Chains A and B, each alone.
Chain A
């Protein structure tokens, strides 16, 4: 009794040290949760202001009449596109002719067609200047708090010395209604005249495209009244609903920054780019990764196994920036050179013009994803209980049948989760896509079919890495990049969660 009571203070002290140590380790264990929470908080903190700024941005777009001008501009652009198509048709035609002399009629026709848009272009450029001036006034008046990145640039239109009344400016801009109706009338007459006497083409291919072109042009002319109507009904004071700030981000098809006209922050081109690159990478990596996992765990001899496994693990340590550099220096060139080979002529979209494209980036990412898929799939295959295999052999199945009917189905959820984790790695990878995907912010032209996979794209990870260093802190552009980061974060978390769920289920089914 006495010994214990003597030692009591010492023991109590020891106990408190013990619990202090425990608390210390416990607090370190908390770090993972804290970091995850902090990532979420900081992405939200810097990203969420985006919607407010984007809404102001969109409201200004309407109030300054930029939206109005864009309606007319679309018409002018369609006209220009039709003009360009005439050029393409001319190319087709001239290829079949030995000399260009007989194309005179066609040249006259296309010149007349492109001239018919003259007044429309003039109208667009006038309205353009008016709207920009009006926007300056509105920004100066502080009616819109949107700080567009374009504002920082010296604007081309001189700042009005005398304050202009925005309402008067808008009325001036709206005179374009009448002008457009008149111009459209004139254009319709000219184009109808032209279409009444089309030039005769000799090449069947050119004739076919010309027929298509004529149909498109008729459609174009036919919708003038509708456009005119839309212009008249357009109202600068119509409120922009708040949800537009979100939909313009999630479903926006343009990512245009630091433009003199209007900045757009739509994630779709980046998302499509990321998904296309990931699709190519997985298409290559899944068969290779699963093949090699089956080979190493079931077919390979012991010596072979002990060489291949560390080597593939070794591949996973190749830094992504080195792979990206290798893509620029070697793979891109090689892919383009291959597409220019004569024996590849049968592929419709070959030869390709860009050496850095979805395929280049995807094939390099595949090499990064193979080790991930291989390691996890091999684990899953090895973890199938021995009894399954033995039972299968005992029933007289050969090795292939055992693999296909027993081992792979038993480890399927493990393999699928391996593929998902590979996908997570590929979607989140930055350096390879930044260096090799071509970095053109546009949705690829899917009318080319599979050729779309040989066009340059930009990705979510790439755009953050590329533009983050240059933006002004707190600007709408800066916040938009954080929003992209948030989408990326949510996407990878979702993929991870799915993979974990699958693994958990798979463990139970085997146990």
Chain B
């Protein structure tokens, strides 16, 4: 059955129109995301970068958050941070009409440190457990009911909402174990949350190592563990680590699980300022994502707060996106190179 020419022309037109609809839909999504990046990039860039050398707002990146004091003094508008304001008070005795805006002066240094600590601890934990689990699944296990149960559990764990992980961490680590709001609680909560992603990625990399490498090693009389250690893990590890970088982006980006397990809205001491080294693990920290939540919901939006809001969002977005970009680029490269 050959369609009539007019019919064929119409169907070709329809095809072209629909393909354009698909194209527009796709680019619309990309455009929306680009707009977000640009908006935060431009408005946040104003806070983070400066026109004069060293071109980076060092103060914003290296100081703790402070309250901003705004007032008129002799016809001049003064914007002073908490510390500056107290110094100013010692030299100027007169009363001024002050408006104070929380969190809007100073910087975000403790948040950066806190996020880094949370990521390092939870990723160490997740990688350790995740890789071990993946080794068992791909090297030791035979298909059976037990293994299927583990796989179902991993799949379901991946779908548990992050706020439920937060509740769980709060119930188990914070209250039941009595660790309170602390780094340790945050590490475990975040580590367990990202575990399914790490297991899946690691298993994929382990399975990509050709069977011949294992068989050769075993044929030479090596034990199973020697084979894994010498002939499987070294080849799989680069792949495991690359895929795990995306896990880092997720751990760094989540707010809900740390809201009641690890994050403080404000803390004056830095994490290393502890009386005893064991206290290091039992202290809450400030974190970038939680700080964004606090400054965007707990204080009003105006010209003074916008600076810190956009600045924090910018720094956070850049950090997370750089991690994600590294992961995606490395993986693309690896896919091209690694075809055994």
Would you list 28 pairs from A and B whose C-beta atoms are within 8 A, ordered by A residue?
Answer: A18-B223, A22-B136, A22-B224, A26-B140, A28-B136, A29-B150, A36-B153, A288-B29, A291-B21, A292-B22, A292-B25, A295-B22, A310-B328, A311-B33, A317-B324, A322-B253, A324-B296, A326-B36, A329-B309, A367-B36, A398-B12, A428-B162, A461-B256, A464-B166, A485-B167, A489-B161, A489-B164, A493-B159
Pairwise interchain contact B159-A492, C-beta atoms closer than 8 A: yes
- Residues of A near B22 (CB, < 8 A) are 291-292, 294-295, 299
Q: Which of B167, B172, B325 has the most CB of A within 10 A?
A: B167
**Measured CA separation A45–B175 after assembly (Å):** 12
**Measured CA separation A187–B263 after assembly (Å):** 58
CB-contact partner of A43 in B167, B320, B328, under 8 A: B167
The 3 nearest A-B residue pairs measured at CB: A428-B161, A319-B253, A28-B132
B232 CB–A CB distance under 8 Å = no
**Measured CA separation A38–B169 after assembly (Å):** 10
8 Å CB contacts to A: which residues of B254-269? 254-256, 259-260
- Total interface residues on B, CB under 8 Å, equals 89
CB-contact partner of A430 in B246, B255, B306, under 8 A: B255
B199 to chain A, nearest CB (A): 7
Q: Is the interface of B mostly helix, strand, loop or mixed?
A: helix
Q: Is the interface of A mostly helix, strand, loop or mixed?
A: helix
- Residues of A near B33 (CB, < 8 A) are 311, 314-315, 318, 367
B334 CB–A CB distance under 8 Å = no
**Measured CA separation A21–B135 after assembly (Å):** 11
**Measured CA separation A313–B293 after assembly (Å):** 24
Pairwise interchain contact B132-A464, C-beta atoms closer than 8 A: no
Q: A32-B150, A42-B172, A325-B292 are in contact. Are A317 and B253 (CB under 8 A)?
A: yes
B247 to chain A, nearest CB (A): 11
The residue in chain B whose Cβ has the minimal distance to the Cβ of A294 is B22
Pairwise interchain contact A399-B161, C-beta atoms closer than 8 A: no
Pairwise interchain contact A461-B161, C-beta atoms closer than 8 A: yes
The contact string, 1 if C-beta is below 8 Å from chain A, for chain B 249-283, is 11011111001100000000000000000000000
B173 to chain A, nearest CB (A): 10
A95 CB–B CB distance under 8 Å = no
Q: A322-B40, A482-B171 are in contact. Are A421 and B161 (CB under 8 A)?
A: no
- Residues of A near B15 (CB, < 8 A) are 398-400
Pairwise interchain contact B157-A35, C-beta atoms closer than 8 A: yes
Q: A287-B25, A469-B260 are in contact. Are A317 and B246 (CB under 8 A)?
A: yes
- Total interface residues on A, CB under 8 Å, equals 84
The residue in chain B whose Cβ has the minimal distance to the Cβ of A35 is B192
B19 CB–A CB distance under 8 Å = yes
The residue in chain A whose Cβ has the minimal distance to the Cβ of B1 is A396
Pairwise interchain contact A32-B161, C-beta atoms closer than 8 A: no
8 Å CB contacts to B: which residues of A161-191? none
B218 to chain A, nearest CB (A): 12
8 Å CB contacts to A: which residues of B310-329? 310, 313, 316-317, 320-321, 323-325, 328-329
Q: A36-B153, A424-B159 are in contact. Are A25 and B40 (CB under 8 A)?
A: no
B99 CB–A CB distance under 8 Å = no
Pairwise interchain contact B168-A299, C-beta atoms closer than 8 A: no
**Measured CA separation A26–B168 after assembly (Å):** 24
**Measured CA separation A158–B289 after assembly (Å):** 45
B195 CB–A CB distance under 8 Å = yes
CB-contact partner of A493 in B26, B132, B156, B195, under 8 A: B156
A14 CB–B CB distance under 8 Å = yes
The residue in chain A whose Cβ has the minimal distance to the Cβ of B329 is A310
| 9 more CB-based (< 8 A) A-B contacts, given A292-B29, A322-B317 | A28-B132, A29-B136, A39-B165, A42-B172, A291-B25, A311-B33, A324-B293, A326-B36, A488-B163
The residue in chain B whose Cβ has the minimal distance to the Cβ of A495 is B159
The contact string, 1 if C-beta is below 8 Å from chain B, for chain A 135-165, is 0000000000000000000000000000000
A197 CB–B CB distance under 8 Å = no
Q: A43-B167, A314-B321, A325-B313 are in contact. Are A320 and B255 (CB under 8 A)?
A: yes
User: Which positions in A face B, CB cutoff 8 Å?
Assistant: 14, 17-18, 21-22, 24-26, 28-33, 35-36, 38-39, 42-43, 45-46, 287-288, 291-292, 294-296, 299-300, 308, 310-315, 317-326, 328-330, 367, 370, 396, 398-401, 421, 424, 427-431, 434-435, 461, 464-465, 468-469, 473, 481-482, 485, 488-489, 492-493, 495-497, 500
B30 CB–A CB distance under 8 Å = yes
B67 to chain A, nearest CB (A): 20
- Residues of B near A312 (CB, < 8 A) are 29-30
CB-contact partner of A32 in B21, B154, B171, B317, under 8 A: B154
Pairwise interchain contact B140-A25, C-beta atoms closer than 8 A: yes
The residue in chain B whose Cβ has the minimal distance to the Cβ of A45 is B171
CB-contact partner of A400 in B19, B36, B224, B313, under 8 A: B19
CB-contact partner of A469 in B139, B176, B259, B328, under 8 A: B259
Pairwise interchain contact B160-A39, C-beta atoms closer than 8 A: yes
Pairwise interchain contact A464-B171, C-beta atoms closer than 8 A: no
Q: A32-B154, A313-B328 are in contact. Are A321 and B176 (CB under 8 A)?
A: no
CB-contact partner of A468 in B11, B39, B259, under 8 A: B259
- Residues of B near A36 (CB, < 8 A) are 153, 156-157, 160
Q: Which of A312, A319, A485 has the most CB of B within 10 A?
A: A319
Q: A367-B32, A488-B163 are in contact. Are A28 and B140 (CB under 8 A)?
A: no
**Measured CA separation A492–B26 after assembly (Å):** 28
Pairwise interchain contact B11-A401, C-beta atoms closer than 8 A: yes
Pairwise interchain contact A473-B175, C-beta atoms closer than 8 A: yes
**Measured CA separation A453–B254 after assembly (Å):** 27
Q: A431-B255, A488-B163, A492-B160 are in contact. Are A325 and B155 (CB under 8 A)?
A: no
Pairwise interchain contact A319-B28, C-beta atoms closer than 8 A: no
Pairwise interchain contact A430-B19, C-beta atoms closer than 8 A: no
The residue in chain B whose Cβ has the minimal distance to the Cβ of A484 is B167
**Measured CA separation A336–B30 after assembly (Å):** 23
- Residues of A near B252 (CB, < 8 A) are 319
**Measured CA separation A90–B67 after assembly (Å):** 49
Pairwise interchain contact A38-B172, C-beta atoms closer than 8 A: yes
**Measured CA separation A469–B150 after assembly (Å):** 33
**Measured CA separation A504–B7 after assembly (Å):** 40
Q: A33-B149, A465-B259 are in contact. Are A489 and B36 (CB under 8 A)?
A: no
- Residues of B near A401 (CB, < 8 A) are 11
Q: A319-B320, A398-B12, A482-B171 are in contact. Are A30 and B225 (CB under 8 A)?
A: no
B62 to chain A, nearest CB (A): 22
- Residues of A near B170 (CB, < 8 A) are 468
The residue in chain B whose Cβ has the minimal distance to the Cβ of A33 is B153
Q: A322-B40, A482-B167, A492-B161 are in contact. Are A29 and B255 (CB under 8 A)?
A: no
8 Å CB contacts to A: which residues of B171-191? 171-172, 175-176
Pairwise interchain contact B292-A322, C-beta atoms closer than 8 A: yes
B332 CB–A CB distance under 8 Å = yes
- Residues of B near A321 (CB, < 8 A) are 253, 255, 289, 292-293, 316
**Measured CA separation A38–B172 after assembly (Å):** 8
